[in-house]
Amino acid sequence: MRQRAFTVGSLIPGSISVPIIQQQPQPVVRSIPEKIIIQQGSQKFEISTAKGKLLDAALNQRKPIQYKCRKGTCGQCTVKVLQGPTLSPPNEQEHKKLANALNNGYRLACQAEILQ
């Protein structure tokens, strides 16, 4: 690399062009919330995210979610999702069992999958 010699004339403001280094924009990192908050009846549960069914994640974390058939036919595991990461789109069983309640955040915990 060649060293530049400065002269009296080169020290006059504006006489030297200094390259401007453009910073690259940093990618936006969206973190998935680590907790899902659901409500079943009057009880609220905080569940750590885990890949798989919402019901399985809750049961593995010893949350006393009420359930019965695990097939989406009884509706016992209906919960309201208050906050958390994206869940799978409602499947046919949920549409049959919950109908309009899906729009209000209700899901069948045995059918809803946590997307990561």
pTM across the whole model: 0.70
| Dihedral angle sign, alpha carbons of residues 84, 85, 86, 88 | negative
* pLDDT value, residue 85: 83
* pLDDT value, residue 17: 64
CA distance 85 to 89: 12
Mean of all residue pLDDT scores within the chain:
85
Averaged pLDDT, 93-100: 92
Band (pLDDT 50/70/90 cuts) for residue 8 is: low
CA distance 6 to 15: 11
Q: Which of 15-19, 48-52, 66-70 has the highest mean pLDDT?
A: 66-70
Is-contact 107 101, C-beta < 8 A? Answer: no
**41-50 per-position pLDDT tens digit:** 999 999 999 9
Averaged pLDDT, 30-54: 88
Output the DSSP codes for 19-83.
PPPPPPPPPP-PPPPSEEEEEETTEEEEEE--SEEHHHHHHHTT-----S-SSSSS-TTEEEEEE
Give domain 35-114's CATH architecture: Roll (3.10)
Backbone conformation region of residue 100, classed left if phi is above 0, alpha if psi is from -120 to 50, else beta = alpha
* pLDDT value, residue 112: 96
